A and B are shown apart, each in its own frame.
Chain A
Amino acid sequence: MDIGQAFTFSALGSQFLVGLSRAMILFIVSAGMSFVLGVLRVPNIAHGSLYMIGAFSAFSLAKLFGGGSGGFWLALILAPFVVAIVALVAERSLFCHLYEREHLMLLLFTFALMLILGDLVKMFWGADYRSIMAPEALQGSVSIMGSPFPRYNLFLLIIGPWVGVGLWFFSNKTKIGKIARAAAVDREMVGAIGINVSWVFAFAFVLGCFLAGLGGALVSPMVSVSIGMDHDIIMEAFLIVTIGGLGNMWGALVGSLIFGLTQAYGVLFWPQFAIVFPYIAVVIVLTWRPRGMLKSVW
């Protein structure tokens, strides 16, 4: 590609926006994983499975509500709750009994959960590709700086920060959010002052999975909703959380931005090797700051 073309303001600008919108979905999903990691101190390997369930739920809900624009909005709002319920059931029936155990047992549990949820999705929804259509208002593209920018990506750019603000508000301004953050740092102390730590963990897990479901629902109009989505997202979420700082939600934001933007610009300058960019970015960041860019919660 003519390198001169790559440097036009228009190209750089539109790639920036595109990278940003990609980062928004990554942020929502990895913030969820980061939150769980911070409070429960275990990376939720089943996070991708819940993301996938979010996408499938959005598909089914949209179909249930008639498939049109209204259906989509309803599906988008309800799908994360469906996922949250699944998470709650898994947590209260099984996971919560393991909190006193060795850490690796929790990890093993999330792995087993991923296996089970993956097959359950296949049993319930089948192997065919599904597709959701974005509502009318969000279809097509607008011309930004001369390049077509899909309206749906614009929507993501607006929604992402709101989710971020909502999360910040939740963890800093609400009582339960503050308790969760405290439990992340020192669970014994929280237990000692009479708070039921188990319920705090339940809340954290469910909230994290809610976010995963939201991410899945948001991404569904852009991709084919199919089994195997869980494997796609989990590695990216892992890496983002690692470079952002374990348990730190702003770190998840920073990590997502790094991922989204390196990919968008990598595509512009060296489109042949786009697949290795995220990994190289991770290696660079971790060489410089092995514990992640921002402070980890613990």
Chain B
Amino acid sequence: MKGKFFTIGLAILGGLLAISLIIFPANVQARNIKVGIIDCYSGPAAVFGKDALNGFKLALEDINKKGVLGKKIEFTTRDTKFKVDIALNMAKELVMRENVDVLAGTINSGAALAVSDAVAKKEKVPFMVWISKSERITGEKGHRYVFSTGENTAMAGKAGGVALSKKPYVKYWVGGDDYSYGHDIANAAWRNLKALRPDVEMIGKSWWKPGEPDLAPYITAILGAKPDAVIFCTGGRSMTNIMKAIKATGMAEKVPVWVHTGTDHAVLKPLGAEGPEGVMGTMDYHFYYPETAANMAFVKAFQAAYGGPPGFPAFHGYITAHLIAEAYKKAGSVDTEKFIDALEGLKIQSPAGELEMRACDHQVTLPMYLGVTKMSAKYGCVISTDIITLTGDEVLPTCVEIKKARGK
């Protein structure tokens, strides 16, 4: 009896759902500009996805006051749960059913590459990648319909290489998360460092499972090998773990360490006083630096709206929204090809100064801030200090290198 009731209920529900989706396919009102966002809102990457969305929404509040070409920009999100097949399904749903004009998102590099190829390129819908860091997105796998508003591993590697080349260290140990992001950073950093300083030597490598909770054994092994400096290539999940392990073993006091995104506030803030000092890190955005009027205004508005300072994903989301708006304005109509042409070479003002969407590879010329962690009484945690700025031009691969990577 219960079973019958349940089945009939399920069937009716399913039927209603199906009918509602077919009859009301998607929002087909006064055709606003639609942005479809695929991102990860579950699992350890969710904190970044949420941050990016918040930055995007904040920008839209301003943009929609005046509108773009007489329309507003609206958006809809889909949770990919950090799975590539779900990302593909959702991206196709957004393009084929919701008929979005632009796709944006995600943090998972595998998903970004998959969607870039199967959806952006195939369906000819522009895809703005805002957190994924794989250099392949705008490098060897880049094409007309994909853009990146976040920094990538090539840029991070160059920044690290440039920064470390100025130091006297010769013997390096490289360690990191055992997945493509970790390896990409390591390869990019080493490539650049070795080019600038042929005398440097890699005395060993360690790779651990992403998210590995106990990194002490790795650190003790590395310390035992007595390198001059250590390069850590960790992703978001292991960042806290490595910071805690560095603090617990006192590593930063014994040997210099460089970690890309080691100065990420999302990681350092929860650590509070437990954050290690003396760790070198590179980031492409800090809410406390530079203290320009534009940045301060952005941070203030973000703080008021969301209760905390913006992180780098929020910054990327914010500039993505502005890039989309300005590109459509420049294009003069909601036409994809004109939009792309307008985007290429487009310059906008941002909290970090003027940025350009480079035409040759569709990568935004983001700066890199290299700093050292130090305890801040004001923020109750360690922050990046003694910051040196590397401009976008200094860290991006050259257009010639990009062309070569794409096999042209």
Residues on A facing B (Cβ under 8 Å) = 1-2, 5-6, 8, 10-11, 14-15, 18-19, 21-22, 25, 118-119, 122, 127-131, 133, 139-141, 147-153, 219, 221-224, 226-229, 231-232, 263-264, 267-268, 271-275
Instruction: Name the B residues within 8 Å of A275 (CB-CB).
Output: 178, 207-209
How many contacts A-B (CB < 8 Å)? 157
Q: Known: A127-B46, A130-B270, A223-B240. Is A11-B221 also a contact (CB below 8 A)?
A: yes
Instruction: Name the A residues within 8 Å of B248 (CB-CB).
Output: 139-141, 150-152, 222
> Is there an interface contact between A133 and B274, defined as CB atoms closer than 8 Å?
yes
> Is there an interface contact between A219 and B213, defined as CB atoms closer than 8 Å?
yes
Q: Which residue of A lies closest to B244 (CB)?
A: A222
Jot down 5 A-B pairs with beta carbons below 8 A, ordered by A: A6-B224, A18-B220, A21-B214, A153-B214, A275-B209
Interface centre among B175, B203, B216, B245 (most CB of A within 10 A): B216
> Is there an interface contact between A223 and B213, defined as CB atoms closer than 8 Å?
yes
Q: Which residue of A lies closest to B205 (CB)?
A: A272
> Is there an interface contact between A227 and B43, defined as CB atoms closer than 8 Å?
yes
> Is there an interface contact between A133 and B272, defined as CB atoms closer than 8 Å?
yes
> Is there an interface contact between B42 and A263, defined as CB atoms closer than 8 Å?
no
A81 to B318, CA, bound (A): 43
> Is there an interface contact between B44 and A227, defined as CB atoms closer than 8 Å?
yes
Partner of B218, one of A139, A140, A231, A271: A271
Interface centre among A1, A119, A149, A227 (most CB of B within 10 A): A1
A212 to B266, CA, bound (A): 27
Confirm or deny: B41 has a beta carbon within 8 angstroms of a beta carbon on chain A.
Answer: yes
Confirm or deny: B50 has a beta carbon within 8 angstroms of a beta carbon on chain A.
Answer: yes
A221 to B239, CA, bound (A): 14
Q: How does the 8 Å CB contact mask read for B195-231 relative to A, with 1 for contact and 0 for none?
A: 0000000011111110101101111110111100000
Interface centre among A11, A122, A139, A224 (most CB of B within 10 A): A224
Confirm or deny: B47 has a beta carbon within 8 angstroms of a beta carbon on chain A.
Answer: yes
Instruction: Name the B residues within 8 Å of A149 (CB-CB).
Output: 216, 220, 249
Instruction: Name the A residues within 8 Å of B194 (CB-CB).
Output: none
Confirm or deny: B237 has a beta carbon within 8 angstroms of a beta carbon on chain A.
Answer: yes
A212 to chain B, nearest CB (A): 15
Instruction: Name the A residues within 8 Å of B15 (CB-CB).
Output: none
Partner of B217, one of A231, A264, A272: A264
Q: Which residue of B lies closest to A15 (CB)?
A: B217
A226 to B213, CA, bound (A): 12
A10 to B220, CA, bound (A): 10
> Is there an interface contact between A267 and B221, defined as CB atoms closer than 8 Å?
yes
Instruction: Name the A residues within 8 Å of B221 (CB-CB).
Output: 1, 6, 11, 15, 267-268, 271
Partner of B224, one of A8, A140, A153: A8
> Is there an interface contact between B223 and A22, defined as CB atoms closer than 8 Å?
no
B117 to chain A, nearest CB (A): 26
Instruction: Name the B residues within 8 Å of A129 (CB-CB).
Output: 44, 47, 240, 266-267, 270
